[in-house]
A = this chain, B = another copy of it.
Amino acid sequence: MSVDPLPRRRGSRRKTQHRKEIKPAIWPGLEGGAYKPLSEADMGRIHASALDILADIGMGGTIPVIVEAARGKGLNLDSDGRLRFPRSFTEDIIANACHSFTLRAIDEKHNIDLGGAKVHFSAAGEAVSMLDFHSGKYRPSTLLDIYDTARLVDTLDNVHRYGNVLVPTDIEDLREFALNRTYATLAATGKLLGLTVMKPEYFDDVIAMLDMIVGSEGDYLKSPFGLIGACPVISPLTYGEDSAALICEATCRGIPTMSVIAGQAGATAPASLAGALAQNTAETLASLIMVNLIRPGHPMIFGNWPFVSDLRTGSFSGGSGEEAVLAAAAVQMGKFYNLPRSVGAGMTDSKVPDAQAGYEKGLTIGLAANTGANLIMESCGMTASLLGASLESMVIDNEILGNVLRSVRGIEINDETLNLGVIREAVNGAGHYLGAAQTLELMHSEYVYPELADRSSPEDWQDEGSLDMQQRAREKAQQILTSHFPAYIPPDSDQKIRERFPIRLDRQEMKAGSSRWCQKNR
């Protein structure tokens, strides 16, 4: 409700400060923290266990760069080939780590502050298949799917980052994978989170491409946007050579990193949720140690993401109640350490955006956000326990995230919101609050209005064709994909990039979205 000031008259004493901005009801970075499944004592015990694990069992799979950095601190490999970290050493690393930083986007307006208990959402998931929009069947995901999902997310208000939803299964060569996924996502969204590099030796190429976009050689590293995310630990308690090397190289070059540790309770982590949390916290600390040995204080997101198994099959289950509470507890541990933290949530096991997908996402994302995760990953578009993604889901999940953000905002209790005069007036006057001044004033700042969620009467709903959420989401996804063709890569940069690198998406194909998405619905 924009309230225009009355026209200012000469000599009038009227103040002009009456113009009120329309305050939105939700915004990125709302503070979470109201949900605390672990007590302070519980967190103290998990912390103590994690320190014990690193000191007594230690880490295997140590690669030269880590061994060398550790030796500089007086730590040597034990005779069993494991690196053990004394408790006080780990505590010092935590104390001196980076506790908050601004995660830059190529478009400054999407910069976000990671720290405190500020909550943001990111699409992500590295799925290898796509629920085909037209056939309704799963098929391998392609580079073109990546471009399309990224431009879809570019328009979704409550999805603050695009963090690599899909693997381009149509590209085998890893260098081409890295260059093309980075290109396709940068072309499509100003919200890019994760750069794709794949191997340390491709950093030069990817950075050269980024330099061409932001200016000239050397410009990208002056103030890098995005981050390098990887899983540098293979559970239980082993550094993973390739991913650890990638995180180390990004760290050396000053690019922010996100170490994601996803030990799976009952498979690669203890079946007891407490044990899984302790091991996973230890492993995430091991990656924090790695990064801080190489570059003390380097910005790293603490990706403590314990997963759970369905023990009937041993498979990962992303939508369970166990996952909901375990992920939230892991966020609490990141908060306990006051480290910028991410977690995976919204990883439904359902194959389609149905009721199951809805409740699994509502519960897992709702609890993770209310615990105060700084970045909630995998929270837009994922299906099939992270094996798949769906365009309808992306559009639906944007609305879930709006609802969740509203709950995170909480209830402001103060003299203005508790104004008893408003109640007295309604009781003595109209007998209700419809049309009251406070009601009109708060209409947009207190309430979120979903675009797709149906709030009509049963009669109106039937008159309008009895559509469900998935059907409405299809229409919206189609409408966006036939109209939103952003150009985040300037034409001259684009030309230079195409001359130097094997870019697979041709301009015609990128623009052909209108026809590609106009095909008949299933």
Within 8 A of B (CB), among A365-417: 366-367, 370, 384-385, 387-388, 393, 396, 399-400, 402-407, 409-414, 416-417
A457 to B439, CA, bound (A): 49
Within 8 A of B (CB), among A44-63: 45-46, 49, 52-53, 56-57, 60
Contact between chains at A411 and B273 (CB < 8 Å): yes
Contact between chains at B413 and A46 (CB < 8 Å): yes
A325 on interface, CB distance cutoff 8 Å: yes
Please, what's the 1-or-0 string for A433-458, where 1 marks a CB less than 8 Å from any CB in chain B? 11010110111001111101111111
List, in ascending order, chain B residues with CB within 8 A of A436's CB: 270-271
List, in ascending order, chain B residues with CB within 8 A of A438's CB: 270-272, 275
Q: How far is the CB of A347 from chain B (nearest CB, A)?
A: 12
With known contacts A320-B448, A454-B349, A37–B410 Cβ distance under 8 A: yes
Q: How far is the CB of A356 from chain B (nearest CB, A)?
A: 4
Q: Which of B36, B137, B270, B403 touches A321 (beta carbons < 8 Å)?
A: B403
Contact between chains at B403 and A45 (CB < 8 Å): no
A403 to B361, CA, bound (A): 11
A314 to B443, CA, bound (A): 11
With known contacts A433-B268, A433-B271, A57–B362 Cβ distance under 8 A: no
Complex: chain B residue closest to A80, CB-CB? B428
List, in ascending order, chain B residues with CB within 8 A of A462's CB: 137-138, 351
With known contacts A420-B56, A423-B236, A426-B236, A357–B360 Cβ distance under 8 A: no
List, in ascending order, chain B residues with CB within 8 A of A424's CB: 56-57
Q: Which of B26, B432, B450 touches A267 (beta carbons < 8 Å)?
A: B432
A354 on interface, CB distance cutoff 8 Å: yes
Q: Which of B137, B350, B353, B420 touches A49 (beta carbons < 8 Å)?
A: B420
Please, what's the 1-or-0 string for A11-23, where 1 marks a CB less than 8 Å from any CB in chain B? 0000000000000
A419 on interface, CB distance cutoff 8 Å: yes
A431 on interface, CB distance cutoff 8 Å: yes
* CB-based closest 5 A-B pairs: A358-B358, A362-B362, A321-B406, A359-B362, A274-B417
Can you list 19 A-B contacts with CB-CB less than 8 angstroms, sorted by A residue number?
A: A34-B36, A57-B427, A266-B434, A266-B443, A268-B432, A270-B439, A272-B418, A272-B419, A272-B422, A278-B420, A310-B449, A321-B448, A350-B453, A351-B461, A356-B468, A357-B358, A358-B360, A359-B399, A362-B362
